[in-house]
Amino acid sequence: MKPAAATVLALLFGTFPATAQEAPVTPAPEAATASGTSNLPPDPFGEIAELAKAADFTRPVDRTRGSFSLKAKDGTYVPGSHFANWLWTMKAERWGNFYAGLIYDSVRTKLGVQLKIGNEAVLKGYAPRTNPIGENEPLVIGSVYLPKAGEYPVSLLTGDQSNVPAFNVKGIHFQPAPESEPHGQSIDGTILLEAKTATTYAEALRYEPKPEKNCLGFWKHAEDWVEWVFDVSVPGTFEVVLHYGSGAGDVGNRAAILLNEHTLEFDIADTGGYQNWKELKLGKVELKTKGENRLAIVPLDLKGAALMDVQKVVLNPVK
């Protein structure tokens, strides 16, 4: 081959294999390189660290309090040609916001469901296949606000038969839900926990939405308690300040704030009225976990007609 032609081919296709007179150069093994690098691809999960979790409360709490269920055996099943209806009459003990969940077993990929609670809500979704091993949690379809205590008609529409082995409805589960999502940590580090963003695990305790109240009230059972779930973007040390009111005659009441692993006990003084708000500084705590944290208020001694009304809890960063 002429030199000129060889040059053209080399430009088009790269250089030719080494000839007998040009011994190939063998690269040094990767393991022997000074940098210790490898020709293996990087581990795509190598940088994923386990998410930190805030510590649990120091006292046990009952997260089932305030929940109730409508069982299939107490309802009426009405089959159709390609759908089915379930009908119940629900008796709500108190007003407030609730998560509504479907209790069922299914081997189907998914089935459309529609839940109607009185004139208050129509919730729609798809029920996927359940795990045949173990107990399945209720499938939360959405939330419903009940404006008053009393009876509500409840109906469940399913996209096919739903009292058969392939898809078997067991009931509807209602559990307390917050009225609003909490604000994130503010730019100055403050964390504001308003009454309407709390979950009331209770039979009587509830959020009172009237403008002159805007608080947690009807706290007349020692078993009722309240919880906030909130995010911390900048951990640190915070001063805990409770804004509360207490009526005349309700003396001797005592409660505790549970903030992750911290417990702050306090006596509840008469403020001159349930909506006559008083700031009570309870101490300083360190929040170590970035992300989800929890704060609860639990009664310790309830000797009056009610424990107190709570307007908000504020966590002020300590500089």
Half-sphere exposure of 117 (CA within 13 A, CB side): 26
Q: Tell me what pLDDT residue 47 has.
A: 63
Q: Tell me what pLDDT residue 37 has.
A: 62
Distances (CA, A) of 145 to 101, 118, 238: 14, 11, 34
Closest of 251, 257, 254 to residue 270, by C-alpha: 251
d(C-alpha 288, C-alpha 13), whole Å: 61
Residue 37: is it exposed, middle or buried by C-beta count within 10 angstroms (0-12/13-18/19+)? exposed
For the chain, the domains span 68-176, 191-317
Same fold, 68-176 and 191-317: yes
- Going residue by residue through the chain (319 aa), what tens digit of pLDDT does each one get? 444 444 433 443 344 344 444 445 444 444 444 445 667 777 666 666 666 789 999 999 999 999 999 999 999 999 988 899 999 999 999 999 999 999 999 999 999 999 999 999 999 999 999 998 878 999 999 999 999 999 999 999 999 999 999 999 999 999 999 999 888 899 999 999 999 999 999 999 999 999 999 999 999 999 999 999 999 999 999 999 999 999 877 778 999 999 999 999 999 999 999 999 999 999 999 999 999 999 999 999 998 889 999 999 999 999 8
Q: Which CATH architecture has domain 68-176?
A: Sandwich (2.60)
Instruction: Quickly name the fold that domain 191-317 has.
Output: Jelly Rolls (2.60.120)
- H or E element at residue 117: strand 110-117
Closest of 313, 311, 309, 145 to residue 220, by C-alpha: 309
The three-class DSSP label of residue 68 is strand
Q: Tell me what pLDDT residue 132 has.
A: 87
Q: Tell me what pLDDT residue 135 has.
A: 85
